[in-house]
Amino acid sequence: MNDRFVIKRGWNQVCMFIVTIAAILLLCAKQQILLDQILGIVCVAMIWFVLFLFFIEHDRAEGLISHNRETDFKKVLYSYTAAAVVVVFASYFPEFVKPLVFVPLIIAAFVSERLALITGIFWDSMICLVMGLHSQELILYCLLTIFGVILAGTAEEATKQEKKLIWYEVLLFCLSVLLPVTFYYLTYQEVHFVLLLWGIGEGAISVLWLQFGYPHFSHLREQEVNDILTDIIDDTYPLVRELSNFSKQEYQHARRVSRLAASCARVAGADEKTCAAAGFYYRIGIMEGEPLTESGIRIAQEHCFPEDVIRIISEYDGETAPPSSIESAIVHMVNGLVKKIEVFDSYTMASEWNQDMVIYQTLNEYSASGIYDQSGLGMNMFLKIREYLVNEETFFF
């Protein structure tokens, strides 16, 4: 299954670039920077953004963003935009107390720690370059960025292990208060107590974010795949409506397979949501025609379906590859069974004996063919699924 350029993902990347340039232009306008200097700064931003795209695509390919290689970057765009707003907002703060530590803290909640670090240091550099700030101030913000990323990562691990965040929060608060005062003293050889009050305020907000905001949004990131699996089979989803308009018969088939595959997954202890989504879109390639498998893969990737769903679609009917997972095997057998039962009318299938015979014959043929040998579907699971389907009376609805 080859990776390919996806318009939806590409558009979100373009939007991130637009946000970058817009934020820089706002900073330059505030400082009344000359046009030639603006062009130079924009060129630096463009070079950095190419590096950013390289790393974000690399992390996506490694499954480091939302554990989803097929993510559309929508949540990344939202977090990136929020971080850019923080940068513009920070430009109005006094020196040494610009709340740039929130940039990596926001980004880290949605992407990898490496991307949060790269993005944070870039915006630290940009705001110092445009506003002509002291080199000591640049070092201060870079240190806060590094510490922020480290604390966010370790705090997330602590949350997963159900440990308290109090010591991470205390450390973040102390850094937010003490570092600005220290660097201000190194620059001017005096202590500015108003700076201490600013630091206390920033530290308090940082602690609140680490306690409430960061866990909430990082949880949304972890739940992205589950949320997508639910959304893409809802009747309001555009592709669902498109399939319904394309063929009512095909839509009904997809609904049957989705419902039964999810039920079989529950019986076998497999992933219900994956089976429900993959079952619905198992032969979505019919909308574009032959070859159905390639067409189905293309449609699924264009809509940024989760990787497991795309893999099951790529194994449609075992044409190019046999089922490689339990979920793929379940969808395969349910689709084949529903397809065979649909050949008969509801009157014929009203006979319990007829329905049972079709189920036993179809599933036994699949099992004997060895098509599920690489899927991990054990005989005990197969028998449970078969027994459930024999007792299922609602193939037609």
Tell me how far apart the alpha carbons of residues 355 and 58 are, in angstroms, rounded to a whole number: 50
Tokens of 263: 């039920």
Position 344 pLDDT exceeds 60: yes
Span of 286-295, 307-316, 355-364 with lowest mean pLDDT: 355-364
Q: CB of 153 within 8 A of CB of 108?
A: yes
Amino acid at 146: I
**Sequence-separated (6 or more) residues with CB below 8 Å from residue 287:** 242, 243, 246, 295, 299
Q: Which CATH architecture has domain 234-391?
A: Orthogonal Bundle (1.10)
Position 54 pLDDT exceeds 90: yes
267-309, pLDDT tens digit by residue? 999 999 999 999 999 999 999 988 889 999 999 999 999 999 9
139-181, pLDDT tens digit by residue? 999 999 999 898 888 877 766 666 677 888 888 899 989 999 9
User: Cα-flanking dihedrals φ and ψ of residue 179, to 5°?
Assistant: -65, -45
82-113, pLDDT tens digit by residue? 999 999 999 999 999 999 999 999 998 888 88
Question: In the chain, what are the domain boundaries?
Answer: 7-222, 234-391
Tell me how far apart the alpha carbons of residues 171 and 20 are, in angstroms, rounded to a whole number: 31
Tell me how far apart the alpha carbons of residues 284 and 287 are, in angstroms, rounded to a whole number: 6
Position 393 pLDDT exceeds 90: no
Q: How far is CA 72 from the centre of its chain?
A: 7
Q: CB of 71 within 8 A of CB of 224?
A: yes
Half-sphere exposure in the Cβ direction for 17 (13 Å, CA): 18
Tell me how far apart the alpha carbons of residues 60 and 115 are, in angstroms, rounded to a whole number: 11
Tokens 């373009």 label which residue? Answer: 14
Indicate whether this model's pTM tops 0.75.
yes
Q: Residue 9 has what pLDDT?
A: 93
In this structure, the number of other CB atoms found within 10 A of the CB of residue 347 comes to: 8
Position 74 pLDDT exceeds 50: yes
209-250, pLDDT tens digit by residue? 888 888 888 888 878 899 999 999 999 999 999 999 999 999
Sign of CA dihedral 339, 340, 345, 350: negative
State whether residue 133 is helix, strand or coil.
coil
Position 130 pLDDT exceeds 70: yes
- In 3D space, the residue among 24, 26, 53 whose CA is nearest the CA of residue 41 turns out to be 24
3-49, pLDDT tens digit by residue? 778 899 999 999 999 999 999 999 999 998 989 899 999 999 999 99
Tokens of 204: 């308090």
Q: Which long-range contacts (CB under 8 A, 24 or more apart) does 378-382 make?
A: 381/268, 381/269, 381/270, 381/326
Position 345 pLDDT exceeds 70: no
Tokens of 63: 């499954």
Position 135 pLDDT exceeds 60: yes
Q: Residue 347 has what pLDDT?
A: 47
